[in-house]
Structures are given as structure tokens and as C-alpha cells.
Amino acid sequence: RLVNNLDMDVFKFETYGKEFIKKQKMSPDAFIQVALQLAFYKCRGRLVSTYESASLRRFQDGRVDNIRSATPEALAFVKSMTDERAAFTDSEKMKRLRDAINAQTDYTIAAITGMGIDNHLLGLLKISKELSMEKPEIFYDETYLSSNHFILSTSQVPTTLEMFCCYGPVVPNGYGACYNPQSDHIIFCVSSFWENTETSSAVFVKALTEGLLEIKDLCNRSGAAATKPVNGSQAASRPHKSGK
């Protein structure tokens, strides 16, 4: 029954891959994470608690922590890309994109170096059980419980091979999103449950494709504006050095 309930959509995004992203001086993983946030916002008009695996292999017996991708900076960016009434300029959108990617990168570094919040809280919960304490109030808090209901569960599995990995959502109304970034394309596997009326893998894939294309167009327009030659009138207004 569980297998039959799994709505899985594997697709190859072929417009660009990690080389284009690197040319923008951006982290491919952070870029894709922000694109996933944009896709979800297009589908539901909000961001939700998001899980991205953070490897802790640098530590003895280390496994994983969580990179929480639904940052305030990501929300600011996706709003600028979707709110037609606000009429953000490309320069403003680009700044918000870079802010979102920088925030994602900073959180990633914190998580993989043992400074993430999730394992810290899990450790406190386990210690309270070992000491036979009453469960601390924070672990009953609605915000804490909501923050651990991961509607968007994501993971990068980069390989040199043309392959994909997949897994199902971790909550009934959630999505699984696994991706393998290649030089000139990105392989995605998006999953959800057929029985849930809030989710649709096909709808999410459509929104993700649209978002990736929109971000590329934004980067290209911003790059073209930055390299646009100065016209004659602008050049004439500049101070001129005589060379003496």
C-alpha cells in the first residue's frame, strides 16, 4: 500500500547545471535549496520547516544534523520574485538572492561543524530522559513541534554518474526532494503521497522548473546590466584627467 501511495517524479532539468551557478559566484547546493524554497512558495504561498541533511563525518561517530533552509532571507527573496504588486527591481531581487544564498551557506557551515541547533536540542532531550527528569516544557511547545514537522525533506546526493536517489516524504502532507547537480544539468527526484490532497509531485516539479528558469533569467539580466557599456552622454559627464 505504501509503495502504491508514493507519487514519484524523476526529471532532468537541462537548461543549466552547477557550472552556470558557479559562474554567478554562488554555491550550487545553496542555490538549489533557495530554488526549492521558491518552488514551495509558488505552490502554497508560504515557507515551511525544511530539512537538508548535513554530514557530520568529520566527527568520530558523527552522522547527520539538519540544515534549516527556510530562512528569513529565503522568504524575502521568494516574496520579491512572486509579489507582482511590490514591483521589485532586478537589483533588489539579486541582492535578496545573494542574501538568501549567503544565509544558506552560513547555516550549512554551522551545521557541518557541529554548531547546528537540532542535534543540540535532541541531546538535551535524551539527557533529560537519562536523568529521569520531566520532559522540559520546550519540547511540548507548539513552535518546537511545528518546526520538527518537516514538510519539505531534501538532500543533495552529488555523484559523477548519471543517476538519482529517491525517498518518500517524512510526513503525510510533505515532499521529498533529492537532487544530483551535474555540470550542465540537475537531476531531481520529487516525491509525495497520492492520498494527500495538499501535495502533487507534478505541480511541485512545474513550480521548481519555473523557479529555476526565473532565477537564471534574473542572473543573466543582472549580469548584462553590470557589463553594459557607458553611453556617450554618461561618459561626457565624467571628470576627465588631463594626464599632466
In order of their start, the domains of the chain are: 2-225 (3.30.559.10)
Task: Using the Cα atoms of residue 159, residue 51, residue 77 and residue 95 in order, give the sign of their dihedral.
Answer: negative
Q: Where does the pLDDT of residue 114 fall: very low under 50, low under 70, confident under 90, or very high at 90 and above? A: very high
Q: What is the pLDDT, as a whole number, of residue 70? A: 98
Number of neighbouring beta carbons within 10 Å of residue 211:
22
Judged against a pLDDT cut of 70, whether residue 234 lies above it is answered with no
242 against 91, higher pLDDT: 91
The share of the chain scoring above pLDDT 70, in percent, equals 93
> Mind giving me the DSSP string for 70-90?
--HHHHHHHHHHH-TTT---H
pLDDT(228) > 80? no
Tens digit of each residue's pLDDT (9 = 90 or more) over 63-110: 999 999 999 999 999 999 999 888 899 999 999 999 999 999 999 999
Q: What's the pLDDT band for 164 if we cut at 50, 70, 90?
A: confident
Do the Cβ atoms of 167 and 176 come closer than 8 Å?
yes
Measure the CA–CA gap between 133 and 242, rounded to whole angstroms.
80
Q: What is the pLDDT of residues 115-147, one digit of tens each?
A: 999 999 999 999 999 999 999 999 999 999 999
54, 108 in Cβ contact below 8 A?
yes
Percent of the chain having pLDDT more than 90? 84
pTM metric for this prediction? 0.90
Which sign, positive or negative, has the C-alpha torsion 118, 77, 92, 229?
positive
